[in-house]
Amino acid sequence: MSTAHAQIRPLLRAVSFDYRNIPFPVFTARRDDEIVSFNQHFVEYMQIDPGDRIGIPLPDLEARFNCELKSAIYEVMDTGKPANINDVVIRVESDEDRYASIHLMPSFSTDGSTITSCIGLINDVSGLKQMEQRLNLVQNELSIVSQVSAQLGSIMETEEILKIILIAVTAREGLGFNRAFILLLNEEQTELVGRHAIGPVDAEEAGKIWQSIPDEGKDLRTIIRSYRGSIDLGDMTLDRAARNLRYPMFGKGGALVDSITNRESQKITSKHELSTLAEQTDRLFGESALAVAPLFSRNTVHGIIVADNKITNREIADSDLDQLQMFASQAAIAIERARLYENQQSNIEKLENTNRQLERTQQEVIKMEKLSLMGEMTYRVAHELRNPLTIIGGFASLLLKSEGMSDTPRERAEIIKKECTRIEKQLDVLLDFSRSYSQEKEDVDLNRLIKIVAGMVQPKLLSSGVVVESESDDTAVTVHVHKDQLLHGLYNTVAILGELSPDNAIWRLSAADDSGKKTIDISPDIGTLGRDEAVAIIHKFVQGRGATGDLRLSLANEAIAYNGGEIGFALNDGQPKIYITFES
């Protein structure tokens, strides 16, 4: 036995004697009965319940470690040399696995002649291990972000950006998901529309997609640059299926909508939610756990990225989700930048579209004027006929009540009354026609409706310089009405106000939903009218002055009231205005 071993024998005897008072996990093992005894710190650290026992079998203890503990203990007792076991993973009843190093030392008899047992001291390094893992994860995330940024920075085409996103999400050197989908919101933000996807449909196809990527340690930047040109998403079955996907933002709800609404990434592992998604997406995804990350920048949400590991069934870790969201945020900025660039490039086309829209608007104005004239004629004819008809029918009724009338005059009076009743029914039909140009009700967005009205009435007021502006936003304010009729009523209302206004006056239309009460406000610009002048114009409007203003206003009132609306006005200290309210 060496001098060094002889010098530590007294220390080892002391440790053997006092090990139960050492303030960290300690255990001792004997060769003869393979029973391990321990102190209280060991019980707490290993989360065991010793009960009435004074020890546990060595094989049972070894089963909790990822190392050959028994053989290491026997070697220490055979050689008398201390040993260290590093990078030990210890399984406990709760929480995650613990990481530790184990220091083994021989314990000698009192006289130092023989080794009686082996003492094991456990040094927990879980905190250091977690910090190391987190550091590696952060370095990997930063590397991915840096490499993808280098590729996205110079790209201005949305299609190319989407391809880069999908390659990075599924590449081994990137996020490493089996499949990835991009769904973008439509312009009305009413539904998610499948834009592109990448990945295999089944395991056979999985072996072909990435097999051409050599395992030469290429970085993500090189992979993206190499495969942007070689991968044609349109040739992939998955991409074609994804582009047919339409997922409503309203009605179905669920995890996809929640992710966009709350702007939070999430893992979808619930069997119920996955089954529902599988049915709603024609089994495009939802058969395995999903990672969902919203694409948003500033105050704009563009859509979502959905990724899964359908082929390998690899579990989606929290770190995977964090990386996906970090990447989605970066991708959203690139998408927004590309859209701005593409909008600038399409200014000429937009001007042409505006001219075409103006032409269509003029056609709509002509159509509405014809409808207005038809309604006006119907209204006049019906009322002009109804007054004398009422008198004739009244006199016929009086004649029938006369006593002593012979049969022939009575029969003729009956015929007159009957025909009057029939004509009154026909007049009711005419009045019903004047009340509605469409008998089919539909859901109408008031914000979109006032845009249409502003565009229709503006050319009519062009000669006087009166301007009608729409202050609508993207929020839907929906009412269930006859669209053409309500459009006609609102058009006449705004047109009359414009005709009563001086040159260069400005009126603004806006719609709002206040606790279920839908409202359209028609407000003057005080800077161009002045408050008193605006009040005077509203007075004239209410009183129905003008050549045909009274009849047109009556028709407008009829149209609006028939659709559950009511015209009112406010002339108090606040902003003077005309308003139309609809009860939900």
Mind listing the pLDDT tens digit for each residue in 466-478?
Answer: 999 988 777 888 9
Fold matches, 3-124 and 131-340 = yes
Q: In the structure, what pLDDT confidence band is assigned to residue 211 with cuts at 50, 70 and 90?
A: low
Two tokens, residue 461: 């007021």
Listed range (341-345, 374-378, 398-402) with the worst mean pLDDT: 374-378
How far apart are alpha carbons 283 and 462 in whole angstroms? 55
Which pTM does this prediction carry?
Answer: 0.41
Burial 436-471 (b: 16+ CB within 10 A, else e): bbeeeeeebbbbbbbbbbbbbbbebbeeeebbbebe
Q: What is the pLDDT, as a whole number, of residue 221?
A: 59
Q: What is the pLDDT, as a whole number, of residue 225?
A: 60
Residue range 362-369: mean pLDDT, rounded: 67
240: amino acid identity, one letter: R
Q: Is the pLDDT of residue 16 over 50?
A: no
Q: Is the pLDDT of residue 349 over 60?
A: yes
Q: In the structure, what pLDDT confidence band is assigned to residue 13 with cuts at 50, 70 and 90?
A: very low
Q: Which of the following CATH numbers is that of domain 442-583: 3.40.50.10800, 1.10.3720.10, 3.30.565.10, 3.30.930.10?
A: 3.30.565.10
Residue range 438-457: mean pLDDT, rounded: 84
Q: Which of the following CATH numbers is that of domain 3-124: 3.60.20.10, 1.10.10.10, 3.30.450.20, 3.30.70.100?
A: 3.30.450.20
The CATH architecture that domain 131-340 belongs to is 2-Layer Sandwich (3.30)
Q: Count other C-beta atoms under 10 Å from residue 202's C-beta.
A: 10
Mind listing the pLDDT tens digit for each residue in 545-582?
Answer: 444 445 577 777 877 887 888 888 887 667 788 999 98
Q: What is the pLDDT, as a whole number, of residue 549?
A: 47
Q: In the structure, what pLDDT confidence band is assigned to residue 38 with cuts at 50, 70 and 90?
A: confident
Q: What is the pLDDT, as a whole number, of residue 138?
A: 66
Residue range 285-312: mean pLDDT, rounded: 89
By the 8 A CB rule, do 535 and 571 touch? yes
Q: Is the pLDDT of residue 465 over 80?
A: yes
> 484 exposed, middle or buried (CB, 10 Å; 0-12, 13-18, 19+)?
middle
Stronger pLDDT, 341 or 154, i.e. the higher one: 341
Residue range 37-62: mean pLDDT, rounded: 80
Pairing state of beta strands 506-514 and 467-470? parallel
| CATH fold for domain 348-435 | Helix Hairpins (1.10.287)
Q: In the structure, what pLDDT confidence band is assigned to residue 102 with cuts at 50, 70 and 90?
A: very high
Q: What is the pLDDT, as a whole number, of residue 282?
A: 86
Cα–Cα distance list, 466 to 186, 248, 522, 540 (Å): 34, 40, 14, 17
Q: What is the pLDDT, as a whole number, of residue 10?
A: 43
Q: What is the pLDDT, as a whole number, of residue 461?
A: 84
Listed range (219-228, 285-294, 345-354, 563-572) with the worst mean pLDDT: 219-228
**Residue 152: beta bridge partners?**
none
Q: In the structure, what pLDDT confidence band is assigned to residue 229 with cuts at 50, 70 and 90?
A: low
Please state the domain extents for the chain: 3-124, 131-340, 348-435, 442-583
How far apart are alpha carbons 524 and 308 in whole angstroms? 55
Least Cα distance to 254 among 269, 234, 276 occurs for: 276
Strand ranges in 203-289 using DSSP code E only, listed in sequence order: 246-248, 266-268
By the 8 A CB rule, do 580 and 510 touch? no
Least Cα distance to 334 among 475, 155, 180, 196 occurs for: 155
How many Cα atoms within 13 Å fall on the side-chain side of residue 354? 6
Mind listing the pLDDT tens digit for each residue in 265-284?
Answer: 999 999 888 988 888 888 88
Q: Is the pLDDT of residue 317 over 60?
A: yes
Mean pLDDT of the chain: 79
Q: What is the pLDDT, as a whole number, of residue 423?
A: 79
Cβ neighbours for 50, distance < 8 A, ≥ 6 positions apart: 38, 43, 56
Residue range 310-329: mean pLDDT, rounded: 86
By the 8 A CB rule, do 69 and 61 touch? yes
Two tokens, residue 166: 């999908």
